């Protein structure tokens, strides 16, 4: 099956620093990837849709200048949390749609990145 | 936009009993409905999905039913086992690989040995 990886799996940083999270599709190409944030005991909330070759589409209420997304290639999307603050501490998960295309909607999730901002 | 409601937030069953989790959605254009199982600190795992041209789908102990008229779909787990204990999320999206998923709030299922 399709495999999505994320790096790093865990990161601890000081308040005010920036953190970059990578999402890779390992054995398929993804022109679209999705970034989610999940707070403890909460659901996955879509932050933005990452589009290869064009700007990301952000969900309402998500600051695009704070959460920078770059879809650098057909297998890599990055999320940079700029000037991170403790309230940004969360579990960040990416996903990529099935490589089969067509009407198939299945998404493949990365293992997630646990961000802790001190 | 789509709104997916999931109730209740917790469910406890005895091992061997069945568990049923229900979700409702608001967008009549949604036609893909997956269910995910998530263990603590792990990624969501797709356990079953259903598309709007099908009313029911089954995979061993797991089944999903869909009522498009009423805009609700349900997950059925039979012969529950302790390893079924996890958080379960329902979701909905439109057709197409690049369509975004809207998740329900999740339910914590506990299976008592």
Q: Give the pLDDT of residue B82.
A: 96
Mean pLDDT, rounded, of chain B: 94
Q: Pick from B95, B98, B109 the residue to mutate for testing the A interface (most A CBs within 10 Å).
A: B98
- pLDDT digits 0-9 by tens, B28-71: 999 999 999 999 999 999 999 999 888 999 999 999 999 999 99
Question: Which chain B residues contact residue A29 at CB under 8 A?
Answer: none
Question: Which chain B residues contact residue A43 at CB under 8 A?
Answer: 89, 103-106
**pLDDT range class, residue A104, cuts 50, 70, 90:** low
**pLDDT range class, residue A100, cuts 50, 70, 90:** low
| Per-residue 3-state assignment (H helix, E strand, C coil) for B24-78 | EECCCCCCEEEEEEECCCCCCEEEEEEECCCCEEEECCEEEEEECCCCEEEEEEC
- pLDDT digits 0-9 by tens, A1-51: 689 999 999 999 999 999 999 999 998 888 899 999 999 999 999 999 999
Q: Pick from A107, A108, A110 the residue to mutate for testing the B interface (most B CBs within 10 Å).
A: A107
């Amino acid at each position: 099956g399709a495999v999505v990886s994320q790096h790093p799996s865990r990161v601890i940083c000081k308040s005010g620093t920036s953190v970059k999270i990578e999402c890779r599709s390992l054995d398929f190409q993804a022109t679209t990837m999705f970034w989610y944030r999940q707070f403890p005991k909460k659901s996955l909330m879509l932050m933005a849709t990452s589009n290869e070759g064009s700007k990301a589409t952000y969900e309402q209420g998500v600051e695009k200048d704070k959460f920078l997304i770059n879809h650098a290639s057909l297998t890599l999307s990055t999320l940079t949390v700029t000037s991170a603050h403790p309230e940004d501490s969360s579990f960040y998960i990416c996903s990529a749609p099935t490589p089969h295309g067509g009407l198939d909607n299945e998404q493949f999730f990365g293992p997630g990145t646990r961000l802790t901002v001190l | 936009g789509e709104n997916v409601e999931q109730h209740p937030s917790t469910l406890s069953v005895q091992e061997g009993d069945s568990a049923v989790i229900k979700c409702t959605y608001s967008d009549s254009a949604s036609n893909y409905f997956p269910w995910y199982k998530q263990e603590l600190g792990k990624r969501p795992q797709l356990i079953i999905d259903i598309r709007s041209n099908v009313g029911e789908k089954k995979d061993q102990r797991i089944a999903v039913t869909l009522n498009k008229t009423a805009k609700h779909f349900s997950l059925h787990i039979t012969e529950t086992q302790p390893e079924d204990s996890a958080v379960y999320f329902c979701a909905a999206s439109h057709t197409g690989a690049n369509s975004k998923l809207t998740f329900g709030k999740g339910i914590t299922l506990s299976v008592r040995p």
